[in-house]
Amino acid sequence: MFITFEGIDGSGKSTQARLLAEALRVTGREVVLTREPGGSPGAEEIRRLVLEGDPDRWSAETEILLFTAARRDHLERTIDPALTAGKVVICDRFADSTRMYQGLSRGDLRATVDTLHRLMIGREPDLTILIDIDPAVGLARAKGRQGHEERFEDMGLALQQQMRAGFLGLAREFSARFRLIDGARPAEEVAADVRTVVQAALP
C-alpha cells in the first residue's frame, strides 16, 4: 500500500508521516518512510538543486522537469521495490505537490505537470492524507524550524493560501483516494485520526 501526505508547509506532514510509520511498525507491518523531493540518493541530490540557492534560478517549466526527474529516480529505486516486496510505503509529499506548487503557483501549468506525470511516473497513491491547516498557523510553524531550505516557505502567506485552496480542490478531484484531516490540533489527536483512516483502507 502506497500512502502519501500532502498539505502546505508547516501543516504537520512530516510529523504525522513519522507517527504513522511508528504505529504501523508496532502492529508488525514493514514500513518504508520516505519523502519528496528526495527519498533516493539521486533524488536527494536534485532536492539540493531545487530547494537551495537563488529562488529565481529555475523557470517553472524547468522545475517541473527537476521534480519529476527526482520522482522517477525515487520511484525506481525506493518506492517500487518496497511495494513489490509487500511493504507499506509512506511518502511525505508526492505528485500532488507538483500539481500544486509547479502547476498552480506560477501560472496555469497543471496540464504540463499531468502530461509529464502520465509519461514518466504513471503511479498514484492508494491513499492520500491531506493535512489541512490555516496558512498563518502553518507558516508560523514552518518559520520556527531552522534550515536553509526556505525558498517555497519564503513565498509567503498569499501563496500558501492559494496552495491550501488548491489542495482542497485536488481532494474533491481525486475524492476516491483523498482523506481530509484537520491539522490545527495537538499532534496526537491528528495522529489518531490518521490511524483511523489508514486502518479503514489497509487490506
Place of cell 529505486: 77
The rounded distance, in Å, linking the Cα atoms of 31 and 140 is: 31
Looking at residues 100 to 129 of the shown chain, list those that interact with ligand TYD (rule: CB under 6 A). Answer: 101-102
* 172 exposure class (CB count in 10 Å sphere: 0-12, 13-18, 19+): exposed
15 binds, among ligand TYD, ligand ADP, none (CB under 5 to 8 A by kind): ligand ADP
List the beta strands (DSSP E) in 36-120: 88-92
Residues 145-174 that bind ligand TYD (CB under 6 A): 152-153
**Residue ranges in 49-108 that form contacts with ligand TYD under rule CB under 6 A:** 51, 67, 92-93, 97-98, 101-102
Q: Which of residues 48 and 143 has its CB atom nearest to ligand ADP in the complex? A: 143
Using the minimum distance from each CB to ligand ADP, give the nearer residue, 3 or 116.
3
- Taking the complex as a whole, the smallest distance from the CB of residue 119 to ligand ADP amounts, in Å, to 28
Among residues 9 and 96, whose Cβ is nearest to ligand ADP?
9
For 103, the 3-state DSSP assignment is coil
User: In the Cβ-directed half-sphere of 102, how many Cα atoms lie within 13 Å?
Assistant: 25
- Are the C-beta atoms of 13 and 93 separated by less than 8 Å? yes
Contact footprint for ligand TYD (CB under 6 A): 9, 13-14, 36-37, 51, 67, 92-93, 97-98, 101-102, 142, 152-153
